[in-house]
Amino acid sequence: MDDYRTELLNREKAASTLKSLKEELVGDREYSSIRISAITNDNEIVDTIVNNWGSNNADSLVNLEFEGRQLMLRLTGYYAFHPPRTVYNSLRSDGSLALIPDSDLKEEINFTFQVAQDHIKEGAENNRYLYRRFKDYLIENHPALLNPALNGLGKEMEQFLADQVVLAYLFDQQGIRAFLLRILERHIKNIDELMESIDTYLEEA
């Protein structure tokens, strides 16, 4: 009888754990979608400048803003990745995840919450490294563009748009952002698949 009661309590605990994880997955999905939108929006101006290199109009770009985000921020953009993980970390620490009897489901949970996130963080770290290098280069070579209060923005923008090092940085930005978009989109797919697996388990439990 005690074994049966223990098993029943563990099953109830596992169901409660999965419901809590699913709620956090909803927040994770929303967070990841916002990140995708931010990168996609910032890419529009990067692509425009790269695709029109040599014929961009400096005057039209100097004070350009997109949805309140200044031009240079869109070009240098750093996209940290810190989705909600309070519930997962708590359940992992107190051993609740170990009570889930389905080993395949536990593996899927670990991949989505741990392995995939580590992969995304690695991409975000590469993005941060490029952001710092690009920002340092701008501070040294085109400081006026980072401080709109300074004079000579039009001339500085012309020099910026003729700087081949800037073009190289923008190419790198395109590559890293494309990578981030791919793994974020895959992460959302993983989230959807995991939520479906959780629903299936709860229906059959």
Q: Model confidence over 62-93: pLDDT tens digits?
A: 666 555 567 888 899 999 999 999 999 999 99
pLDDT value for 24: 96
- Domain of residue 91: give its range: 2-204
pLDDT classification of 198: cutoffs 50, 70, 90:
very high
pLDDT value for 58: 85
Query: Which of these, 146, 145, 147, 141, lies nearest to 164 by C-alpha position?
Result: 141
Give the global pTM: 0.88
Q: How many domains does the chain have?
A: 1
